[in-house]
Homo-oligomer: A and B are copies of this chain.
């Protein structure tokens, strides 16, 4: 029945070996990763290939509000997924860049995203079957 060869026991064992705080943190990481603008923001910074000003990111992540982008970037910075460098100039300049850890996380997410995109039709069919 386990046709995919996934050993969920292995995952559970990994979780059991962690402290409760660590366990809940792993959960938090995955949850935040799926928040509305997080992946998109990281992808934009990854594609840029170097530091990017706040307003450039704001343009590239189409539809995000200033407030939400600020919050998203703060969280990413806190988790070590992006770096932030502020320059004491007028008008102010702040540059963001993705970190090695951020690139590693994107590498993990990448196949999932590709799979989801490639299998959209199967989901559409399932929903039509259910709704109709």
Contact = CB atoms under 8 A, between A and B. Distances in A.
Interface of A: 1-6, 8-11, 14-15, 18, 22, 25-26, 29-31, 33-34, 36, 39, 43, 46-47, 49-50, 77-80, 100-101, 103-127, 129-131
Given A29-B116, A80-B130, 19 more contacts: A1-B50, A2-B46, A4-B106, A4-B107, A6-B46, A8-B46, A11-B113, A11-B114, A15-B117, A25-B120, A30-B112, A30-B116, A31-B36, A79-B123, A80-B122, A80-B123, A101-B119, A101-B122, A108-B112
Contact of A108 (B79, B115, B120, B123): B115
Contacts of A107: 4-6
Contact of A6 (B2, B6, B11, B110): B110
A111 B33 CA distance: 15
Contacts of A131: 78
Q: Which of A14, A108, A111 has the largest number of chain B CB atoms within 10 A? A: A108
A11 B121 CA distance: 17
9 contacts: A3-B103, A11-B43, A18-B120, A25-B123, A25-B124, A101-B119, A105-B115, A108-B111, A111-B111
